[in-house]
Chain A
Amino acid sequence: MTTTASPLNTRAQAAPVRASSSRGSRGISAFLTYLSHGAIWLYVLLLLVPIYYLVISAFKTNTAILNEPFNPFAGLVLDNFGKAWEQATLGPALLNQAYLTVGASVLTLLLAIPASYALARSKGKLGGIVERIFQVGFLVPAFAALVPTVMLAISMNLFHTREFLILFLPAGAMPLSVILLTQAMRTVPAELEESAVLDGASQMRVLWAVFLPVTMPTTITVIILNFLGFWNEYFFSLVIIGPDPALRTAQVALPTLSMTNAAQYGVLAAGIVITLIPVYIVYAIFAEKMEGAVLAGALKG
C-alpha cells in the first residue's frame, strides 16, 4: 500500500535538504531533530490508532472489544458484517450511493467539459466574467442554503428522490471542475485545433477529438475529486432523500447503526468498514492520482 508518492519526482534528483547544520550548536540541533522525528511518529501513531481500533473491532465480539480492546486476535467473529449489512440495509444503501455518485459525476462532466472548452477558447470579456463567477463560486458554502435547497426540491416535485441529488450535486462541483478543466484546455496547442478546423471538423468534433484526449489527465483528476465528494456527501442526502431504507444512501444508513447498537461497537465498526471499502479500492488503484487531485482541488481556490 505504501505508494510511490505523487509529483515528487521533480526534486528526486536534487540533493535532499536534510543533513545537520554545519558548525556549532550541534547538540541542540541534534536534539531538536530527534524531537521532531518523535513528534511526527507520535502523530502518525495517533492517526493510526483509531483506524486500527475500528478495523479490529469490526472482527471481534462485543465482550472481546470490552475486555481486550487492543488485542486483534481476541474473540474473532464475522457476524458483525452480516448484522451491519442487514440492520442498516447496506445493500440497497450502497447501490443508492453508487447510483448517486455515478449519475452526478456523469452529469458534472457533461456540463463542465463543454463549458471549459468554451471558456478556454473565449478571449472576450464575457468569458472572463463567467470564469470569475466560477472562481468565486468555489468558495460559496452550500451548507448555509440547506433549507432553501429542500424548498427547491419540493417545488420541482423531486423531494424524497435520489434524482434531485443527482441534479443538485453537480452544481456544487461545477466551479472547481470548470476551473481545473479550463486551465487544462488552455494548454492545447492552437495548431492542433486549427488543423482540425481546416479539415472541416465541427466544434463538437474539435472538442471530442482534439481537446478531450489532451486533457484526459485533468478529466481523471476531476472525476476522482467528484467521486470523493459525492460518495461522502451527507447532509443534503439526509434532508432531501430522507430515511426511507429503499432510497437512502450509505452515508445516511450508516449512522442508524449507532442508534440501534448503542452498546455494540463491533456492528457499527463493521458497517463503517463496509462503506469505506469502495473508497479504499479507488484509492488503492489511483493513489498517486488521488493525492494529485486533492492538491489540485486545493490550489485552484
Chain B
Amino acid sequence: MAVIDAAPTEVSSAAHPASPRSQTPRRRSVWKRNAGLTFALPALVWFLVFTIGPLFSLFYFSMTNWRGLIAPRTFVGLDNFTKLFADPVLHQAALNTLIQLVITVPIVVCGAFMTAYYVNLRPRGHRFIRAVLFTPVLLSAPALALVFLGVFAPTGLVNGFLDTIGLGHIAKPWLANGDSAFIAIIIVILWASVSVSAVMLASAMNSLPTEVFEAAELDGCGHWRRMWLIAFPMAKGFVGVITTLQFLWTLFTSAAVVLLLTRGGPGTSTINLSFLVYDYAFNKSKVGYAQAIAVILFVLGVLGLIGIRRLFRSKP
C-alpha cells in the first residue's frame, strides 16, 4: 500500500501546475494520491459528528418553540429572533457582554504584552514571576469562581483586608450589589486572563531577534519605545492570537464564572449572553429561545474573529 502511494505523489505534485492532458490517468492518480487519507477519516468524522453537527442543528432548534429538553418542539420560523429584539433582559445581557469585552480584551492584551516584555528582560526573580503567572492556567472555571466566592464573600478576603487596615466601614457584600457584582466578575476575568496571556506572549516573544533591541538601545531608545515601536510590531501576529483567545474566553467561558459567582444576580445585573444560553435552556424552560441567543452569540463570535483578524493582519 505504502509503495503504491508514495510513487505517484511526486509525479502528480510536479505535474499539478500544468493542465492535465488526459482524464483517466489523472482521475486514478487523484484516487491513489488520497488513498492514504483514509487514516484521517475517523478523526474527521468524529469532528463533524460531535462538533459541526450540533452546531448545524443549533440553527434549526433556534427556530422552534420548545419548552423543555424532552418536550415536543414546534417550528415557528424567526419568531424567537423577533422576540429577542424586544426583550429587555436580552438587551441587558448584550450590553453586559459588550462592556465585558470592551473592558477585558484591551486590558488583558496590553497588560499581558507589557508583562511579557518585562519578564523577557529577565529581571531579578523572573523565574518566580513566570511560575506565579502560570498558576491561573491550572484552575478550572469552577475552581476560579469558587476561589473568588471566598474573596468577595461578606466575611471574605476583601472585607477582611478592609477591616485590617481600618477601612471596615466601606466593607459590603460585594456580590449582593448589582454594580459591585458586575465589577467583581470583570476582576475575576482579568485575574485569570492577563497572566495566562502573558505567559504565552513571553514565550512567543522570546524568539524575537535580540540584535534589533540591542541596536535600538545603542541609539538611546528607552524601554517604553522599544516595547511599543519595536517589540509590538514584531510580535503583532502573536498578539493577534492572544486577542482572539481572550475574545472567545470573555464571550463564552465567562458563563461559568457568572453562573457560580452570582447566578446572573442580583436581579439581572450580571447576566451576559453566554450565561443566558445556559440559564434559559436548563433553568427557565425556554430551550428554543435559548438557542436563538446561542445563534446570536455564535454570529458575534464569528464577526469578532473576522474583525480581530483584519485588525492584526494588514500593515506589516
Contacts of B189 in A (CB 8 A): none
Q: Give me 17 A-to-B residue pairs in the complex whose CB atoms sit less than 8 angstroms apart, sorted by A's number.
A: A8-B206, A16-B122, A21-B217, A29-B222, A36-B223, A69-B160, A69-B164, A124-B13, A137-B52, A141-B252, A152-B53, A167-B50, A263-B155, A268-B149, A275-B140, A283-B138, A298-B204
Residues of B close to A22: CB separation below 8 A: 217-218, 220
The contact of B137 among A10, A170, A294, by CB within 8 Å, is: A294
Q: Are B61 and A147 in contact (CB under 8 A)?
A: yes
A66 an interface residue at 8 Å Cβ cutoff? yes
Chain A CB within 8 A of B39 CB: yes
Complex Cα distance, B253 from A269, in Å, reads: 22
Task: Verify B115–A40 contact, CB threshold 8 A.
Answer: yes
Closest 9 CB pairs of A and B: A69-B160, A171-B50, A232-B140, A115-B43, A148-B54, A118-B39, A145-B54, A114-B39, A115-B40
Beyond known contacts A147-B294, A151-B61, A283-B134: 19 more, CB 8 A cutoff: A10-B207, A11-B206, A17-B214, A23-B220, A43-B194, A111-B46, A115-B41, A116-B40, A122-B9, A134-B47, A145-B54, A147-B287, A147-B290, A148-B61, A154-B70, A167-B50, A172-B50, A272-B146, A301-B244
Q: Once the chains bind, are B129 and A44 in contact (CB under 8 Å)? A: yes
Interface residues on A, range: 35 or more
Interface on A for B, CB 8 Å cutoff? Answer: 1-8, 10-11, 14-19, 21-25, 29, 32-33, 36-37, 40, 43-44, 46-51, 53-54, 57, 65-66, 69-70, 111-112, 114-119, 121-124, 126-127, 130, 133-134, 137, 139-152, 154, 167-168, 170-172, 174-175, 178, 194, 197, 201-203, 206, 228, 231-235, 239, 251-252, 254-255, 257-258, 263, 265, 268-269, 271-272, 275-276, 279-280, 283, 287, 290-292, 294-295, 298-299, 301
Q: Are A21 and B222 in contact (CB under 8 A)?
A: yes
Does B139 interact with chain A (Cβ within 8 Å)? Answer: yes
- Chain A hits for B303, CB < 8 A: none
**A255–B160 touching, CB < 8 Å:** no
B residues contacting the other copy or chain, number (CB 8 A): 121
A65 pairs with B155, CB closer than 8 A: yes
Q: Are B238 and A197 in contact (CB under 8 A)?
A: no
Kindly identify, within residues 193 to 238 of chain B, every residue whose CB is under 8 Å from any CB belonging to chain A.
194-196, 199-200, 203-204, 206-207, 210, 213-214, 217-218, 220-224, 226, 238
Beyond A47-B191, A123-B9, whether A143 also contacts B2 by CB under 8 A is: no
Residue B99 interfacial (CB < 8 Å): no
